[in-house]
Structure 1
Amino acid sequence: MTTAPIHAVVNLDLPGPTISRHVYGHFAEHLGRCIYDGFWVGEDSTVPNVGGIRADVVEALRAIAIPNLRWPGGCFADEYHWKDGIGPREQRPRMVNTHWGNVEENNHFGTHEFMALCELLGADPYVNGNVGSGTVREMSEWVEYLTRDGDSPMAALRKANGRDRPWRVPFWGIGNEAWGCGGNMRAEAYADLARRYATFVRDHDGNQVYRIAAGANTDDYAWTETLMKTLNCLGCSRQPKGPFQALSLHYYTHNGEGAKRGTATRFTTDDYYLTMLRARHIEELVRGHAAVMDCYDPHRAIGLVVDEWGTWWDVEEGTNPGFLHQQNTMRDALVAAVHFDVFHRFAGRVVMANIAQTVNVLQAMLLTDERTGALVRTPTYHVFAMNTGHHDARALTVHLRGDLPRVDVEGAELSVLSASASTKDDSALVSLTNLHATQAQTVVLDLRGREFTGHEAHLLTARSLTDHNSAENPDGVVPTPHTGVRTHARGLEVDLPPHAYVTVRLRLTAI
């Protein structure tokens, strides 16, 4: 059954804030098989590698223009002592990863390996420092080691370990989840520590650091307000002054509470709709935290960084429960699409986001098959690939008109149509998502303000919501050219199959 067309009005000549490419950031934690057997295989591996870094993973991520990579955690960051991960690998001390699987690791992947990975990816490093079990001096020396030139103690140590020139490190996290695994702190206690630690994250030799305080979990607006109070007074019109420039937000999408979160590949239509309702909750959270920040920072000088987001399902059967390995279906891809629409709409406040995580963990871009060594691109990976045109483009408001389709989910209404758009140079990109499990939709793109001379469209969908990619079937869910786009008196008419994601790129006449 096809419903009456919905009109999506886009004023192509009224661009808004720039959508930072950094909202398409990624997250790599020492967790399960993300680092070891994901990014890192070692120089002696039979898997093709560059200095121990898996070559096909790098190639796949470069293809989606990965802008930044957050490391070493996550919860792991607040038990990681960076000096254990430098120097000759055979001499590095071992450690126990108490957060994730209680496994021992050899610290073979450390600072130099991470920075080499970022250079191969062409991505900006986002280093998360240790506040929970570390010291101010330890964090300060790590920044010096990474970014200072000359012959200071830490620069000399770096040179002794084989790197003469300093690196550029633009992003620095001041601890992680201080309300939980990062120390179980009160907001007031952490706010004082954040100011103290951030003060000693110095800008060395032209490397300007963007310091990100550990912000709230989901709807803890009081945590956000406590941090903002340390930067400015309520209602002040002056620019906030303080040692950090952003604060984070963490939110995961799942269907349960506690340890039971639902399975990644075996779910009902009702389960699916509940997932979509919870995914769309990210808009309420971003709006709420942004509103609190606006009270103390009306000019939006302080950034909101959603540096952990994505789906979190029960681990796959037979895998270590501490490794958080899950499959990735068409449902996960639609969760990603909904999040990006929100990040685009709040581009004036959301300056960065990092999906959790990049390889083999949670809502991963890539899965590496232990048995065959194959690399699998997940449906979520393809959403990132389809969206590269939004990187550093200016947001366009999409006004939806008509009888918007909705589904009742446990007494709440789920809007099943999501959209966003952006423009850059003489092009525009429109993203359209139909969340309805069984009904197609038709959307009229009512394009105003500029003429367009052509278009191309791509479609990501699947026969079933549970469809996914695997080593045996790597192309089960992949984008295809979308032929269901027609000219219309108002612009274009776009068919949206059930549970589908569509992007339409427009070629615009020059201004």
Structure 2
Amino acid sequence: MKKVLCLLLASFLFQVVGLSQAGTPIVVKPDAGAPIINKHIYGHFAEHLGRCIYGGFYVGDSSTIPNTAGVRNDIVNALKELEIPNLRWPGGCFADTYHWKDGIGPKEERPTIVNQWWGGVTEDNSFGTHDFLNLCELLNTEPYLAGNVGSGTVQELADWVQYVNFSGTSPMSDLRKENGREEPWKVKYWGVGNEAWGCGGHMRAEYYADVYRKYATFMSGANIEGGLYKVASGASSNDYHWTEVIMKNVPHHLLQGVALHHYSVIDWNNKGPAVDFQEEHYFKIMQKAWEMEELVSKHVAIMDKYDPEKKVDLIVDEWGGWYDVEEGTNPGFLYQQNTMRDAMLAGVTLNIFNNHADRVKMANLAQAVNVLQAVILTDEEKMLLTPTYHVMKMYKVHHDAQLLPVTFDSPEYSLKGESLPAISVSASRGKNGQVHISLVNIDAAKTNAVEIDLNSLGIKELTATALTSEKLQDHNTFDDPEKIKPAPFKNFKMSKKGVIKIELPPFSVVMLEEVK
């Protein structure tokens, strides 16, 4: 309540006397050669992990929870609001133990599988290829299938490609039709294994490069305009050697994307709480979030060395915050709450991806429902939208918009002798010509003022939306699901000289929108 009163007072003083402090100058200029921010940067991830699929997306068609073929209608509607461009499935680590033929045909005849990576639970394979691809059709989103390289075979993956994509007569397309699907789904995006350096087989980069070449050779792009889009299992965070080997040893005509995985986690043995954290822990998580800038820059530099024409894309298909699970939940289910800290993490990361849109063409937040930095949490029939969901929704205006390059010197957010950039910014102009500027202030206590010269953009009027709260630890609960949600933001002023002055509250995300 105290913070709300302070914000109201600040708004009143602002309207009476204007901004009282000089702001950080931010320059946003149009550039005809700037890249398009690929909408696939805003992708999501659904692994067979904890309650992401079973008890999350999928409740079965006999459930009293409103559903379509067993998939929750409220989750579908919420994700459609985000306009999610793609959804990655079935893993993650689970992908390299998954045999797709076990998940087709009559549900009562499907064999079970023990999820050896996540909780040791037995799954009945009732959610399989048809269920997932039909879900993607409900969502109007592109499926991104992760193929089994670790425990599967070349033939198994080649058959899966044919099963979902081939429209002619073949053993696999005939099998698909027998299982009730006449027309192929035309799945374009394929991951060739997952984390081959770890749970995907603990391979050396040199060995995996050869494995990739073999698998990719036998994956046919039948019925897919432009062929399949194949993504190599990529590096973990700062393993630059891995990227170097893939770019050097894999012929680029076999390779459309190279993955990168990076989680904001401080200590894998002591990740810290998702809610009851101190500012020091928050600061360290923000360090890990900002590390994405360095990682992308250095991996891109390696890619540029071998691919100066930028034909191969960087695909950050796992990212997000990772903390200790909520008390009383299965440690293997990775269920965690989602606070304003996660909103900051999401805003900073998405700005980084936007600003590297020349090479970053897809990314996948881990994960969509009930796992890690989820956008949706469920409890039986209840559902809530997290602060991260709201950031993703605010940022959907950047989908397929042209990047507007931004330059500025950020003020610092300092704690115990260490410092980070306090402000993160990205901007774009949509196909309708409308400009959007997303700003994040990660400082836990300080309001930061900025000034943006809008003359070169031709903007005459703006509106703004903000996501903020009283405490960093604030989160939505099933009893109070709308505690945190975006609201109109008025604490800015535009001068006659075309300069907007705005005060960014502590730990806030603000979206400026041109009025057309």
Question: 8 Å contact 2:193–2:232 — kept in the other structure?
Answer: yes
Which of residues 342, 352, 356 is equivalent to 2:352?
342
Give 1:236's aligned residue: none
* Contact residue 20 and residue 392 of structure 1 kept, 8 A: yes
Q: Which amino acid aligns with 1:482?
A: F
Q: Which runs of 5+ in 1 are unaligned?
A: 233-240
Question: Alpha-carbon deviation of 1:179?
Answer: 0.2
Aligned AA for 1:230? N
Q: Is the 8 A contact 2:186 2:223 kept in 1?
A: no
Aligned to 2:138: 120
Letter in 2 for 1:465: L
Match of 2:476 among 450, 457, 469: 469
Q: 1:281 aligns with which of 287, 291, 294?
A: 291
Deviation at 1:254, TM superposition (A): 1.8
Q: What are the Cα deviations for residues 459-481 of structure 1, in whole angstroms up to 9, with x where unaligned? A: 00010000000110101110000
Alignment map for 1:221-370 (pairs within 5 Å): 221-231=240-250, 241-255=252-266, 257-370=267-380
Q: Deviations over 1:314-369 (max 9, x none)?
A: 00000000000000000001100000111011100001000000000000000001
List per-residue Cα deviations over 1:70-117 (Å, max 9, x = no partner): 000000000000000000001100010000000000000000000010
**Normalised by the size of structure 1, how large is the TM-score?**
0.95
1:168–1:270 distance in 2 versus 1, CA, 3 Å: same
**Bigger fraction of residues in helix:** 2
Aligned length: 495
Shift of 1:450: 3.1
Distance in 2, matches of 1:120 and 1:126, equals 15
Q: What pairs with 1:76-115 in structure 2 (closer than 5 Å)?
A: 76-115=94-133
2:390 is the counterpart of 1:382 = yes
Tell me how far 1:188 sits from its aligned partner: 0.4
CA distance in 2 between partners of 1:426 and 1:454 (Å): 14
Q: Give the structure 1 partner of residue 424 of structure 2.
A: 418
* Alpha-carbon distance in 1 for matches of 2:248, 2:33: 32
Post-superposition Cα deviations, 1:158-217, rounded to whole Å, max 9, x if no partner, equal 000000001121100000000000000000000000111011111112352100000000
2:69 paired with 1:51: yes
Contact 2:30-2:456 within 8 A present in 1 as well? yes
Normalised TM-score (structure 2): 0.94
Aligned-partner residue type, residue 366 of structure 2:
A
State the alpha-carbon separation in 2 of the partners of residues 376 and 458 from structure 1: 20
Residue 112 of structure 2 contacts residue 125 of structure 2 at CA under 8 Å; is this kept in 1? yes
Please say if residues 195 and 242 of structure 1, whose CA atoms lie closer than 8 Å, have aligned partners that are also in contact. Answer: no
Matched, 1:436 2:446: no
Counterpart secondary structure, 1:134 = coil
Pick which of 10-19 and 146-155 moved more. Answer: 10-19
Per the alignment, residue 451 of structure 1 pairs with: 458
Question: Is 1:212 the counterpart of 2:228 in the alignment?
Answer: no
Q: Distance in 2 between matches of 1:149 and 1:80?
A: 24
User: How many angstroms does 1:409 deviate by?
Assistant: 4.5
Which residue type is aligned with residue 237 of structure 2?
T
One-letter amino acid matched to 2:506: P
Q: CA deviation at 1:150?
A: 1.6
The C-alpha deviation readout for 1:31-76, integer Å capped at 9, x for no partner, is 0000001100000000000011000000000001010000000000
The CA deviation at 1:278 is 1.3
Alignment pair present for 1:158 and 2:146: no
8 A Cα contact 1:9 1:448, kept in partner: no
CA–CA separation in structure 2 for the residues paired with 1:309 and 1:29? 13
Quote the RMSD (CA, aligned, Å).
1.3
2:14 corresponds in structure 1 to: none
Q: Which AA in structure 1 matches 2:87?
A: L
Aligned to 1:496: 504
Q: What is the identity percentage for the equivalent residue pairs of Structure 1 and Structure 2?
A: 50
- 1:39 is matched with 57
Is the contact between residue 269 and residue 437 of structure 1 (CA under 8 Å) also seen in structure 2?
A: yes
Give the counterpart letter for 1:316 in structure 2: E
Counterparts of 2:458 and 2:199 in 1: how far apart (Å)? 52
Contact 1:132 1:178 in 2 (8 A): yes
Q: Comparing 205-214 with 419-428, which one deviates more in the overlay?
A: 205-214
Instruction: Identify the match of residue 86 of structure 2 among 60, 68, 77.
Output: 68
Aligned-residue offset at 1:231: 3.7
Tell me which residue corresponds to 1:238: none
- Amino acid corresponding to residue 217 of structure 1 in structure 2: S
SS at match of 1:363: coil
Is residue 7–residue 443 contact of structure 1 (8 Å, CA) maintained in 2?
yes
Letter in 2 for 1:471: F
For residues 507 and 224 of structure 2, the distance between their equivalents in structure 1, rounded to whole angstroms, comes to: 48
Structure 2 regions of 5+ residues with no counterpart? 1-9, 11-19
Q: 1 CA distance for matches of 2:198 and 2:288?
A: 22
Which residue of 1 is the match for residue 6 of structure 2? Answer: none
Counterpart for residue 7 of structure 1: 25
Map of 1:138 onto structure 2: 156
